[in-house]
Structure 1
């Protein structure tokens, strides 16, 4: 019994020591790992930090189809430089081409009717002149002259009607030409194809969440910086600014002020997803920059530092306003 009691005491002490060792190991803090790259730092004494995204100048163009339809051919590839009005993709136009054949076939018969009526008008006009030139009223009756004149007038009215029918047929034909040209989607401006999300044989729908093609001018890039609405009063127009790739302080490059978009908009987390989470409201500032020696791409996130306006007071510096003292009575 004594041995069992001593063994239980030693087991309790051993468990207590093991528990202490585990707790001490859990409380020990691991050293912070060395960062892979130097984090970005502001070159200014006082600055406003913002998050930004690189985009093509004048923003990207999301190409959409004019109507729903089957895509029969895609003329461009990713990275291709295109000019204004260059063909991008073709929608199925077989139905319209079949209608075009019918409408084009209706034009020659009307033209033949017009030509025949013109010959008839010419004959009647010659006949009427010949009848009027006869001086002897016994040889040509007034009724014959009147009938010829009436036939000439009716022929002229028929010619006008046929010409109107021809004009309508031509307009109906040209309407199909316009609709056919509409199914060939062209580039609204020159630029670079950034994305191609369609293939021949797929069905295109207007208003799709993902653009069929994304077009941008990659010759000149710009940064769209999002400044928190609280810090918006601290930013002066044309203030100096720098940017660096996300969490890479060794990639800093200078920015040139373009404009401040005066409407404060909800900030998005820039994940690229359609259901991006709205964090707060931001003031957007557009900057241009020359291409740095390292590669940058449209859609890349950057850290932006804007030199703070020294004349503007920080919201934290303003403090609560003092209560208004009642005016002293007479």
Structure 2
């Protein structure tokens, strides 16, 4: 054998010996048998979810077109049902209201005084209903002023409660007057109003429509809750066609999770079943909960587990889990929900 071939063979043997002598890498090590985590056996299913208020997130947009004139609240403010949040200015709508109010006053002054005996019963119930409508408008305006003053630190809680009670009373009286008018119409349909009374009734109908249009220029809280988001600035144009709400609010007295359970696990979830929510934001914190509702429909999913991108190729059922003590979770946070056996 030549000397060159002997050297090559020697290096080959040495290389093989070196490879064999090296300790196996971690990837090559045989996997040690692992015992299942004790808690893993306690869960029937796991599903991604998001935290939401017990009222869900309520999105409030503009019902009328105009420029934002006043923003009466800010994020984290607590508001009562019916409280004014944003005022929108629309000169055309507000001018029309003033014009129709003048027309009503003109028709009232122009009718016969005192009324003829046959016209008196109708006039009485119609005037009472119109006065009750005006009283509701005035009571609501008074409540708005007191609420704004209290938020600015110049009003009291007692004054606010009194104004709210006055509005409730005015609304109850309006309902009673409207019922009286309906009963009169049903009892005496043949008693027709005079021409002047008819003109006044038509003007009052226009006034009701103009007032309703003006009411759309004030965004109000549909329920008591907390302002979560505010996407409005004074001077901006507000429109019902806007895809984004001006205000988002919710009732934070309780929180819940809306989870998306895979269709394959649908049969394992029951009303009242215990569950637990976990968030990557708070490692080691388990938030207890209980299943309160299960959607009766399977649909494409809207979001994945924590850290995953949104997806829609998985069929899921929405399951709502009421959280017993939700702290420190907040609205919109993504969590994983574990459903117990």
TM-score interval, smaller chain: 0.5 to 0.7
| 1:43-192 aligned within 5 A | 43-47=39-43, 48-115=45-112, 160-192=194-226
SS of the counterpart of 1:84?
Answer: coil
Give the whole-Å Cα distance in 1 for the aligned partners of 2:270 and 2:106.
Answer: 73
| 1:281-292 aligned within 5 A | 281-292=315-326
Asked if 2 retains the 8 angstrom alpha-carbon contact of 1:42 and 1:305, the reply is no
Structure 1 residues 62 and 276, CA gap change in structure 2 (3 angstroms): farther
Structure 1 residues 96 and 284, CA gap change in structure 2 (3 angstroms): same
By percentage of residues, which structure has more helix?
A: 2
Structure 1 residues 307 and 42, CA gap change in structure 2 (3 angstroms): farther
Structure 1 residues 94 and 305, CA gap change in structure 2 (3 angstroms): same
SS of the counterpart of 2:202?
Answer: helix
- Coordinate RMSD, CA, aligned: 3.1
Structure-2 residue corresponding to 1:125: none
- Alpha-carbon shift at residue 191 of structure 1 (Å): 0.6
**What TM-score do you get using the length of structure 2 for normalisation?**
0.60
- Alpha-carbon shift at residue 221 of structure 1 (Å): 0.3
Q: Which has the larger radius of gyration?
A: 1
**What TM-score do you get using the length of structure 1 for normalisation?**
0.62
Structure 1 residues 165 and 270, CA gap change in structure 2 (3 angstroms): farther
The gaps in structure 1 that reach 5 residues or longer are 1-27, 31-40, 120-158, 309-330
Give the whole-Å Cα distance in 2 for the aligned partners of 1:256 and 1:75.
Answer: 37
Query: What's the CA shift string for 1:76-118, capped at 9, x where partnerless?
Result: 1100100000001112132122122322222344334323796
The gaps in structure 2 that reach 5 residues or longer are 1-24, 28-36, 117-192
Give the whole-Å Cα distance in 2 for the aligned partners of 1:111 and 1:239.
Answer: 65
Structure 1 residues 82 and 266, CA gap change in structure 2 (3 angstroms): same
Aligned length: 231
Asked if 2 retains the 8 angstrom alpha-carbon contact of 1:85 and 1:189, the reply is yes
By percentage of residues, which structure has more strand?
A: 1
Give the whole-Å Cα distance in 2 for the aligned partners of 1:276 and 1:67.
Answer: 34
| 1:127-276 aligned within 5 A | 160-246=194-280, 248-269=282-303
Q: Identify the range of structure 1 (110-119 vs 97-106) with the bigger mean alpha-carbon deviation.
A: 110-119
